[in-house]
C-alpha cells in the first residue's frame, strides 16, 4: 500500500526553489542521504557529518559565486612584450558532473601577449574559479582559454590539463593508473610551430604525458 508523506509548505518551497534552501534544510538533505544509503545518522561518528558535508560542498563549489572576468580585470598590465608566457603545473582539484567524484591534476597555461599581460597569480586563481564547480575536463580546459582570450585579446592562448579521475579509479573500469589529457588552442597556438613550442616546454616539467 502506498504511503502518504506529509511535506511542510516551507520544505516544499525549498525543494521547488533550491536557491532558497536554508542552512538547516541543507543539513537535513545530507542527513536523509545517510539514511538512504543504509546508515544511522544518529550514531556518534555521523552526528556532525551532515554539517561537515554542507561546508565541504560549499567550498568545493564556491566557483559558482566567483566572477572570472572580475578576477582578471584586477590584474591587467600594459607591456611591450610579445614572447610566450607560460604558467606550468598549476594544481587543480574539481568534481566531475557525472558522478560528483573528484578529478585532480595539473594545468599548464600559455599565451602570447599583444600589449597586455595578466598577473601570474591570477592565472592560478582563474583555474581555481572554474575548477570549483561541477565540471568535465574538456569544458574546464576551454573555459580557462576563453577567459584569458576575452580578457586581454592576446595573439593566442594554449591550455593543457592532465588529470586523474576517481570515477575511473574507484568505480567503473577501476583503472588506477589512467590519466586524461585535454588541450585548448586559440589563435596562433593553432599553428604547428607555436603549439609545438608550448608542448615542448610543458614536457620539461617531467609531468607531461604528451
Q: Are residues 105 and 177 in the same domain?
A: yes
pLDDT at 13: 58
Residue among 98, 138, 153, 191 flagged as catalytic? 98
Please indicate whether residue 108 is annotated as part of the active site. Answer: no
Looking at residue 169, which CATH number applies to its domain? 3.30.1130.10
Element (H, E) at 113: none
Residue among 28, 39, 66, 99 flagged as catalytic? 99
Please give the tally of structural domains in the chain: 2
User: What are the respective helix, strand and coil percentages of the chain, to the nearest 5?
Assistant: 45, 25, 30
Residue among 23, 32, 97, 150 flagged as catalytic? 97
This prediction has a pTM of 0.84
Please indicate whether residue 99 is annotated as part of the active site. Answer: yes
Q: How many CB atoms lie within 10 A of CB 87?
A: 18
Q: Are residues 91 and 37 in the same domain?
A: no
pLDDT at 107: 98
Residue 180 belongs to a domain: yes
pLDDT at 3: 44
pLDDT at 209: 47
pLDDT at 24: 56
What residues of the chain score a pLDDT lower than 70?
Answer: 1-24, 205-210
Q: Tell me the C-alpha distance between 123 and 77, whole Å.
A: 14
CA distances from 174 to 23, 97, 143, 158, 164 (A): 36, 18, 28, 31, 12
Please indicate whether residue 188 is annotated as part of the active site. Answer: no
Structural domain boundaries enclosing 74:
70-203
Q: 155 near 194, Cβ under 8 Å?
A: no
Please indicate whether residue 165 is annotated as part of the active site. Answer: yes
Which pLDDT tens digit goes with each residue over 158-197? Answer: 999 999 999 988 888 777 778 999 999 999 999 999 999 9
Amino acid at each position: 500500500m502506498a504511503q502518504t508523506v506529509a511535506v511542510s509548505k516551507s520544505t516544499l518551497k525549498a525543494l521547488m526553489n533550491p536557491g532558497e534552501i536554508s542552512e538547516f534544510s541543507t543539513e537535513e538533505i545530507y542527513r536523509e542521504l545517510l539514511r538512504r544509503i543504509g546508515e544511522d545518522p544518529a550514531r556518534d561518528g555521523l552526528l556532525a557529518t551532515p554539517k561537515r558535508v554542507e561546508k565541504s560542498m560549499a567550498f568545493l563549489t564556491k566557483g559558482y559565486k566567483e566572477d572570472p572576468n572580475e578576477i582578471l580585470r584586477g590584474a591587467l598590465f600594459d607591456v611591450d612584450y610579445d614572447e610566450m608566457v607560460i604558467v606550468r603545473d598549476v594544481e587543480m582539484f574539481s568534481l566531475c558532473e557525472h558522478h560528483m567524484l573528484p578529478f585532480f591534476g595539473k594545468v599548464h597555461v600559455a599565451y602570447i601577449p599583444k600589449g597586455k599581460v595578466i598577473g601570474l597569480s591570477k592565472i592560478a586563481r582563474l583555474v581555481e574559479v572554474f575548477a570549483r564547480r561541477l565540471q568535465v575536463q574538456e569544458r574546464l580546459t576551454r573555459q580557462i582559454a576563453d577567459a584569458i582570450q576575452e580578457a586581454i585579446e592576446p595573439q593566442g592562448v594554449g591550455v593543457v590539463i592532465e588529470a586523474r579521475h576517481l570515477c575511473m579509479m574507484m568505480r567503473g573500469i577501476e583503472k588506477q593508473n589512467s590519466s586524461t589529457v585535454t588541450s585548448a588552442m586559440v589563435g596562433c597556438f593553432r599553428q604547428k610551430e607555436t603549439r609545438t613550442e608550448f608542448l615542448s616546454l610543458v614536457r620539461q616539467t617531467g609531468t607531461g604525458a604528451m
